[in-house]
Amino acid sequence: MSEDFVICARAIERNKFIAEPGASQFLCVPDGELPKPSHAVKRQDAWIKRVRKEAVWGKDARDKTRERGDLLVFVHGYNNDQEIVMKRHRRLKGDLIETGYKGTMVTFDWPSDDKALNYVEDRHDAKQTAMQLVTDCIRALSEEQTPDCTINVHLIGHSTGAYVIREAFDDADDSNLANNSWVVSQIAFIGGDISAASLSENESSTQSLYRHCVRLTNYSNLRDSVLKLSNTKRLGMAPRVGRVGLPEDVPSKAVNIDCTEYFGQLELDTTIQEEDQHEQLGTFDHSWHIGNKVFTRDLFETVKGDLDRNVIPTRKHGDDGSLVLVRPH
């Protein structure tokens, strides 16, 4: 029986996970089921061993004696109950494998509620549990890398998940972890619900993010209505990176992919929807990425890392030199 790997940072009440912060539980969730406390593996090292085994897919091309693997960690957004979290996990995992991805995937399930008006509380819980993403997930998995094993750890943050990732990296550096040399490979933000300005190279809250990754790819969409400034939940907040894109003053390892043109075609052309969209999960203009074939291929090539960012088939250069998401020929 296939299983899904989940790190659940929700509290437990009456033998069920609830939308409040709790100690991390390391789950192996049977296919088709929702996470339960009974799915927890008692020993973290035993769970990591199972994840590592699934992540390894071959030998390093430069050194055939060394194993090679990939692990993608998905961090969901606010207003997500466990049903939608698992639907997104399984859709993204399945679509990546169909595209050619050979590694495995873990979801970091922080205590987001399923009520649309819980934005402020969810953001507080996201901040509270961010450190667990590093200590119980990224660092623990990275430390499993042995001299003869190269497992690349990647992260993808949707909506408030981008905030969780940014805060986690910042907290990790502030906490003086014993091993501060940990590095993840690729970080991707989709519909990122953080200030665009906060990702400037010299912003103190983001320096740790850039310091501990090989590349950060931000997918932006000017048609994302959830991230509009007039949204009452974000009253007074600065423009969001998932809507307006990265600022100009970012390090060379950061790249923005403008999805506005492609999403406009996807939204208006039913033929393109039928060909490109496997499934719609959540508000379409904010959550179209997971279940979309074009985005999945772009993410796969980003994680794979064989092609330079400028020649990935699902991208073109805009008139201003920016990178734009397109349907491949």
pLDDT (tens digit per residue) in 66-100: 888 999 999 999 888 999 999 999 999 999 999 99
21 in Cβ contact with 11 (< 8 Å): yes
pLDDT, residue 260, reads 98
pLDDT band with cut points at 50, 70 and 90 for residue 2: confident
Domain span at residue 108 reads 3-325
How far apart, in whole angstroms, are the C-alpha atoms of residue 312 and residue 328? 9
pTM over 0.85: yes
Banded pLDDT at 144 (limits 50, 70, 90): low
Percent of the chain with pLDDT over 90: 67
Angle formed by the axes of helices 160-174 and 204-211, to 10°? 90
Query: Which amino acid, 61?
Result: A
pLDDT-wise least confident of 154-158, 159-163, 202-206:
202-206
Place of tokens 């890392």: 305
pLDDT tens digits for range 114-137? 655 556 666 777 778 888 888 887
Mean pLDDT of 294-305: 97
CA angle 284, 289, 293 (to 5 degrees): 115
- 266-292 residue pLDDT tens: 999 999 999 999 988 989 999 999 999
Residue 154 and residue 215 in contact, taking contact as beta carbons nearer than 8 Å: no
Closest CA to 7 of 191, 153, 159: 153
> Over 70: is that where the pLDDT of 302 sits?
yes
Question: Please, what is the average pLDDT of the chain?
Answer: 89
Band (180; pLDDT cuts 50, 70, 90): low
Q: Which helix (H) or strand (E) holds 55?
A: helix 44-55
Q: What's the structural domain count of the chain?
A: 1
Mean pLDDT, residues 205-209 taken together: 90
Show the DSSP H helices in 56-118 as ranges: 82-99
Question: Taking phi first (over 0 means left), then psi (-120 to 50 degrees means alpha), and beta for anything else, what does residue 245 get?
Answer: left
Structure tokens at 20: 């409040």
d(CA 220, CA 116) in angstroms, rounded, equals 22
